[in-house]
Chain A
Amino acid sequence: MRLKDKVAIVTGAGSSIGQESAILFANEGARVIVAEINDDAGQETAERIGKNALFVKIDVSSWEDTKRMVKSAVDHFGGLDILFNNAGIDLPYATTVVDTEISDWERIININLKGVFLGVHHALPIMMAQNSGVIISTASRAGLGATKGEAAYCASKGGVVSLTRQLAIDYGKYNIRVNSICPGGIDRPTIDRSEFLDQSVGALERRNEQIIQKVPIGRLCSPQDVAQAALYLASDASAYVTGTALVVDGGGLAL
């Protein structure tokens, strides 16, 4: 039980990386705030975990919602030890900078980047007061090197990597560790927008095949792969690790 008696918040916990992480954290002894904007998805994760979970419906880009999210951890579980900022979105169309609608740019930056700031802003006073805490954020391989047709997404994730380093510097003295995870080759449509736009039969398989060719380990990244990285960063096993961007990409970046 690597997270025994810990209280964790996982945002975007209704699906994929967030859902796997929430369940894994709970299996390791944590009580988990399942923060999610989608009711059904959030309820499902909370039900799968059982009594050690509480679903809180939030929009991570809202000051008030993120404040309420942190408060609910304190009110229901008596504190907050781990904040996993995982919620993120991408757009269902190729976002070269010229093609990006201004409103879509704002949505991506506000959810993927400002969402991390807001969660952290509200969680920090609690962690500072108890002189301990762990903050993890889902960045992306696209936050370290660019992907075609992903202007707003790359910018937002580059911001998360950089913000993470900054937080590590300011809050190390409070024994708060701050790290990001950079998944790559993930089995969901965040890579290569132009391929994703192709809805024809077999397009997804062709896209995945292309991704796999660029991954030395020869398979796509699963949500479980990322959840395991998050568990490592959340646990005392990583007690001297802070300010890093942990790449979980099957070796893609090493190519």
Chain B
Amino acid sequence: MGLLEGRVAIVTGAGSGIGKATALRMSQEGAKMVVVDIVPDAGQETLATIKERGAEGIFIETDVTNSDHVERMVDTVQSNYGQINILHNNVGVGGSKSAHDTTEENWDRIINGCLKSVFLCCRTIIPLMLKNDGGNIINTASVLGLVASPKQSAYCAAKGALVLLTKQMAVDYSVQGIRINCVCPSDISTPTHQRFFASREDPEAVRRSLMERHPINRFGKPEEVAEAVLWLASDSSSFVTGVALPVDGGLTAW
């Protein structure tokens, strides 16, 4: 009997990286997976892997920064499964710069991708969870919502806001049976992380300095974040709500 047997779980940004790892891990525990991504090929690939392993799921192409898309996505889940038990808001957008180098367009893109997307999904899905006597929401924030890093102005702003949005929602909805938490990963080896390095002038120097910030002396794996998300999504964490759980190899312990 899996930890999430019979539950319906949505993972946004499930086409790659942390989202993909979470979707695969949750499906292993018996959840019916709703794979959400803006990139059809990536989402389909995640779904195919889920099905190969004998689990159930659907893929819905969605831009989670668009409220019409989000509503359509939720309608599709409802007509397929009739309920939503778990929501993992995992979509994020990188590409930050220092504040004086940040254009308005860049700021808006990152704030919308990392923050508004969570607002829109929660706003649409929480009423359904309330009708359903509860649910579970996990957001992918970041250690950059807890501490700062160079040239990450909009990203730090967005993730700090997301940490507080998580806590705020926990304060409002925990009593009604919805637990809401976030994970705060540090550097996780994902395609996004690769793109981040590629965008820097001296990728090797950036890699070294980031590695030095990790007491564990390595970067994380998406699967390690997925384990934390799974724990928060499962009944094992039934008294845990409103927390920002670092999965960071000790980065915020200094």
Contacts and interface: CB of A to CB of B under 8 A. Distances in A.
A130 interface: no
A128 B99 CA distance: 12
Given A98-B127, A128-B100, A166 B149 contact: yes
B118 to A, nearest CB: 9
Interface stretch (A18-26, A51-59, A113-121, A203-211): A113-121
Contact of A113 (B98, B145, B157, B171): B157
A134 interface: no
Which size bracket describes the interface of B in this complex?
A: 35 or more
B240 to A, nearest CB: 15
A167 B111 contact: no
B104 to A, nearest CB: 5
Contacts of B157: 113, 117, 159-160, 162-163, 166
B71 to A, nearest CB: 11
B147 A113 contact: no
B231 interface: no
Contacts of A154: 164-165, 167-168
B113 to A, nearest CB: 13
B234 interface: no
Contacts of B107: 114, 117
Most buried by B among A63, A150, A163, A243: A163
A102 B168 contact: no
Nearest to B127: A98
A147 interface: yes
A155 B148 contact: no
B165 A149 contact: no
B100 A125 contact: yes
A175 to B, nearest CB: 15
Contact of B164 (A100, A118, A146, A149): A146
B165 A158 contact: yes
A157 B148 contact: no
Given A155-B161, A157-B164, A162-B161, 8 more contacts: A97-B123, A113-B161, A121-B100, A128-B100, A151-B119, A159-B158, A159-B161, A162-B159
Interface of B: 67, 98-100, 102, 104, 107-108, 111, 115-116, 119-120, 122-123, 126-127, 144-145, 147-154, 156-165, 167-173, 242
Interface of A: 63, 96-98, 100, 102, 105-106, 109, 113-114, 117-118, 120-121, 124-125, 128, 142-152, 154-163, 165-171, 243
List 8 A-B pairs, minimum CB-CB distance, nearest first.
Answer: A162-B160, A158-B164, A159-B161, A166-B156, A163-B157, A154-B168, A124-B100, A155-B165
